[in-house]
Structure 1
Amino acid sequence: MTSLEFEMHLAAEAYGVIVNVDKPAGYSMGTHQHAFDACALITAGEITLTVDGVDTRYAIGDIFRLSAGTPHSESAGAAGVSYRAGRRGGEAA
């Protein structure tokens, strides 16, 4: 999926805020949650999200989704990670 196709997908699903996120190699954040739904397309590197004790790795071209209020932790791969993310609801601004 191209970035343009992804943005069209986000618009169709009413994601009003789109941001670019870049995290360096070694980045990690312990368990936290967001007040908004998130849908992200990995554009470089990789990230591992842990939800309910299950680790899932996302690489270039993969899409991950997190519903508002979902406790999760995250860590970037050896080359860091970049992704384009849509945010919907909650404190998405």
Structure 2
Amino acid sequence: MKSPTLASFTAQSLEEGFDEIIVREWEPHLRLDTHTHPFDVSAHVVRGEYWLTVGEEVQHLKAGDFFRLARNVPHAELYGPEGATVWVARAN
């Protein structure tokens, strides 16, 4: 599968009903304890890696991976030694 561009990610996300697109740059070794967001997320990891923990499930996400997370779902994040760049579409 061909990697998306930010423009194609944005277009598809808006078509799917997401209303905000941001580029997040996360610092190396950053740990975000369990928290929630008041919006749905569709995201594409562009650079680096991180671990997303939802309940007992830990997902190791690397550059090229996509994931979705529903609003108000408790989760934690741990970023790898390079940090990460993630394109994030939000449905507010």
Both structures adopt the same fold (TM-score exceeding 0.5): yes
Segments of 5+ residues of structure 2 without an aligned counterpart are none
Residue 41 of structure 2 corresponds to residue 38 of structure 1: yes
Please give the per-residue CA displacement for 1:21-73, whole angstroms capped at 9, x wherever unaligned.
01111101000000000111111001110001111011111111110000000
Segments of 5+ residues of structure 1 without an aligned counterpart are none
Task: Determine the structure 1 residue equivalent to 2:4.
Answer: 2
Aligned mate of 1:68, from 64, 71, 80: 71
Q: List 4+ stretches of structure 1 deviating above 3 A.
A: none
Amino acid at match of 1:58: L
Residue 84 of structure 2 corresponds to residue 81 of structure 1: yes
How many residue pairs were aligned?
89
TM-score in terms of structure 2 length: 0.91
TM-score in terms of structure 1 length: 0.90
Task: Determine the structure 1 residue equivalent to 2:29.
Answer: 26
